[in-house]
Amino acid sequence: MSLSLKIISIGILLFYGLIRWGLNSYWILISPYWGYAFEFAFVLSAFYLLRVKSLGRLTRRDVAPLNVAFVSGFIVHVFAKQQGIQVPFDMSGAETAFLLLILAPLLEELVFRGALQTALVNLLPVKGGVVVLSGALFALSHGIAITYVPEPYYDFVYYQTFYTFALGMFCARAKETSGGLLSAINVHFGFNLGFYIASVFGFNYL
């Protein structure tokens, strides 16, 4: 690993943290969609600098992780309902379905497993450490919602920070095992689909 690539990797991690999270109140103020536009531009730039050239491909081995992720997402929503945790999403709208089932699995995995995890791999020799840190960064990105959501949703933010840490590690492990981003996107989609199905169809019990 060249020194220049390590420096680029550090710069990518710091740049994303400072601009996306450090200016989070700014992104919320103007429009979340400007934040998404920044992330797409960030991904394109990071992929070029880190020489990411392929998303990989899905195989039969990805079916089991998809099923596990779906069941996990379903259970996470059911547990929230059972514990009286208010979910701050209107699942009945088409926009929410688009964000949850298409944009989030695609864009978040491009950012966290494609750009940031690749940068971490360039800096850390231990794969297990990369998986944990990738999950931690993903959880942090959801945990900062505590700075702007109404107080009744604080419990959900704490809960979401916990389960996104586990989901982030699951996606990171899928990417490390397969070597491709599509496996991570597959897991993320399965989880969000399970969460969505449990919400839309009103499942509040097991």
pLDDT digits (tens, 9 = 90+) for 109-149: 999 999 999 999 999 987 789 999 999 999 999 999 998 88
Residue 204 pLDDT more than 60?
Answer: no
What percentage of the chain has pLDDT greater than the value 70? Answer: 97
Average pLDDT over residues 28-56: 90
By percentage, how much of the chain surpasses pLDDT 90? 74
Q: How confident is the model at residue 203 (pLDDT cuts 50, 70, 90)?
A: low
Q: Where are the alpha helices (DSSP H) in the chain?
A: 3-16, 24-30, 32-50, 63-82, 94-98, 109, 117-123, 127-143, 154-178, 181-200
Give the pLDDT score at 50.
94
Q: Place 27 in a pLDDT band, splitting at 50, 70 and 90.
A: confident
Phi, psi of 84 (to 5 degrees): 75, 25
Give pLDDT tens digits for 150-173: 999 999 999 999 999 999 999 999
**pTM of the predicted model as reported, rounded to 2 decimal places:** 0.94
> Cα 48 vs. chain centroid, distance in angstroms?
21
Q: Which residues contact 125 (CB under 8 A, 6 or more apart)?
A: none
* C-alpha pair distances (Å), 69 with each of 13, 57, 63, 195: 27, 18, 10, 10
Name the phi and psi angles at 55, rounded to 5.
-90, 0
